[in-house]
Amino acid sequence: MFQIKTYNAIAKAGLKKFNEEHYQLNQSETPDALLIRSHKITEEELPNSVLAIGRAGAGVNNVPVEACTEKGIVVFNTPGANANAVKELVLANLLLAARPILEGANWVKTVTGSNIEEIVEGEKKRFAGTELQDKKLGVIGLGAIGAMVANDAYRIGMNVVGYDPYVSVDTAWTISSRVKRALTIEEVLRTCDYITIHVPLLPQTKQLINHEKLALMKKEAVLLNFSRGELVDNKAVATALVDGHLKQYITDFADEQFIGNEKVLVLPHLGASTIEAEVNCAKMAARTLKYFLETGNIKRS
Ligand code: MLT
């Protein structure tokens, strides 16, 4: 019987659901493995008994990966398990960027009087939008999520260009041949109307979008970030929005820089927050962990 320490309800739920006989969920100080979701594991917190840490999610930036590697602890994630949820939210936000849906809906509730319909008809031109069809979308990072966003954006009529110097063979097969590939990130930034970031947070990607990169973007461009807040220099974004170098920033990551800024739409890290994605991640993490503890290998299913 393996001892598994879990930190979040979702990870716990996945383990329970998958296979109660092989695991004992407890808060043992000598667990064989840790299963986590949002909990940030510190180096000091790593028990010597641990052989693996599974993250029920895509990013592993809440795990001290280097320290784990030094100690021989295997760290794994659940790639693709929540990709559909993130993709759907990105597509929804592309539509929100093109059409003032929220602004129109909020305004219409404030209209009063006996002739509401007439007032609304008379003023609705204030809320005219644009279409996504034929607009150019740049997808930076073509992993599981980026590939799905690129394919579906193409299906709704956008011209899609992707950039990723390290795309895996598995993901490469899933990317539609209609998605053009850019050789440099600068090419994407210079030419696209909408740019969405789908890269992991690593030392090399921290503040990937900085002042210099923002300066390359079209003045009317919209930037979307549903990956990690630290990929973008928020101060530089706030300045670019004031200087008119960027039309809108849509992000899943709060920052005090954005308080009261009407050109920024901030969500409370909802990308993977669907019931389906949470179950998928928890199940994949549990299966992967079971296989690892039994065989010493990582194989996702
Ligand atoms: C992920 O890394 O999979 C997502 O950001 C999910 C999350 O942490 O809520």
pLDDT value of residue 34: 92
Residue whose CB lies within 8 A of the most ligand 1 atoms, among 75, 82, 227, for a mutation test: 82
Q: Residue 20 pLDDT > 70, yes or no? A: no
If you write DSSP's letter for every residue of 229-285 in order, what string do you get?
GGGB-HHHHHHHHHHTS-SEEEESS--GGGTT-TTEEE-SS-TT-SHHHHHHHHHHH
Residue whose CB lies within 8 A of the most ligand 1 atoms, among 62, 199, 269, 275, for a mutation test: 269
* pLDDT over 90, % of the chain: 83
Distance 58 CA to ligand 1 centre (A): 6
Q: Residue 80 pLDDT > 70, yes or no? A: yes
* Residue 144 near residue 171 (C-beta atoms within 8 A): yes
Going by pLDDT thresholds of 50, 70 and 90, the confidence category of residue 105 is very high
Q: Which atom of ligand 1 is nearest to the CA of 37?
A: 8
Q: What is the tens place of the pLDDT at every residue in 210-222?
A: 999 999 999 999 9
Distance 86 CA to ligand 1 centre (A): 9
Give the other-Cβ count within 10 Å of 160's Cβ.
25
pLDDT value of residue 93: 98
Compare 8 and 174 and report the one with higher pLDDT: 174
pLDDT value of residue 18: 65
Distance 57 CA to ligand 1 centre (A): 5
Going by the DSSP 8-state scheme, the letter that residue 202 receives in this structure is -
Mean pLDDT of 144-168: 97
* Residue 161 near residue 195 (C-beta atoms within 8 A): no
- Answer whether CATH 3.40.50.720 is correct for domain 83-266: yes
Closest to 2 (Cα-Cα) out of 299, 282, 290: 290
Distance 1 CA to ligand 1 centre (A): 29
Question: Which distant-in-sequence residues (6+ apart) come within 8 Å of 105 by Cβ?
Answer: none
pLDDT value of residue 70: 95
Q: Which atom of ligand 1 is nearest to the CA of 38?
A: 8
Q: Which atom of ligand 1 is nearest to the CA of 78?
A: 3
Q: Which CATH superfamily is domain 2-81+275-295 in?
A: NAD(P)-binding Rossmann-like Domain (3.40.50.720)
Q: What is the tens place of the pLDDT at every residue in 237-251?
A: 999 999 998 999 999
Distance 272 CA to ligand 1 centre (A): 6
83-266 has the same fold as 2-81+275-295: yes
Q: Which atom of ligand 1 is nearest to the CA of 81?
A: 3
pLDDT value of residue 234: 98
Q: What is the tens place of the pLDDT at every residue in 268-290?
A: 999 999 999 999 998 899 889 98
Look over the chain and give the mean of its residue pLDDT values, rounded to a whole number: 93
Residues with CB under 6 A from ligand 1: 38, 57-59, 82, 269, 271-272
Largest CA distance in the chain: 72
Distance 111 CA to ligand 1 centre (A): 39
* Residue 39 near residue 8 (C-beta atoms within 8 A): yes
Q: Residue 19 pLDDT > 70, yes or no? A: no
Domain limits of the chain?
2-81+275-295, 83-266
Compare 188 and 9 and report the one with higher pLDDT: 188
The sign one gets for the Cα dihedral 237, 240, 241, 247 is negative
Q: Residue 21 pLDDT > 90, yes or no? A: no
pLDDT value of residue 157: 98
Going by pLDDT thresholds of 50, 70 and 90, the confidence category of residue 33 is very high
User: Rounded to the nearest 10 degrees, what angle do helices 275-295 and 83-98 cross at?
Assistant: 150
Q: What is the tens place of the pLDDT at every residue in 160-177?
A: 999 999 998 889 999 999
Mean pLDDT of 31-51: 92
Distance 273 CA to ligand 1 centre (A): 8
Q: Which atom of ligand 1 is nearest to the CA of 228?
A: 5
The sign one gets for the Cα dihedral 52, 58, 64, 66 is positive
> What token pair was written down for 100?
């003032």
Going by pLDDT thresholds of 50, 70 and 90, the confidence category of residue 136 is very high
Going by pLDDT thresholds of 50, 70 and 90, the confidence category of residue 113 is very high
Q: Which atom of ligand 1 is nearest to the CA of 56?
A: 3
What pTM does this model have?
Answer: 0.93
Distance 59 CA to ligand 1 centre (A): 6
pLDDT value of residue 12: 72
If you write DSSP's letter for every residue of 134-183 in order, what string do you get?
T-EEEEE--SHHHHHHHHHHHHTT-EEEEE-TT--HHHHHHS-TTSEE-S
Which residues, in sequence order, are bridge partners of residue 18?
Answer: none
Distance 52 CA to ligand 1 centre (A): 19
The sign one gets for the Cα dihedral 166, 167, 170, 173 is negative
Q: Which atom of ligand 1 is nearest to the CA of 269?
A: 9
- Torsion angle (degrees, nearest 10) of CA 76, 80, 85, 91: 130
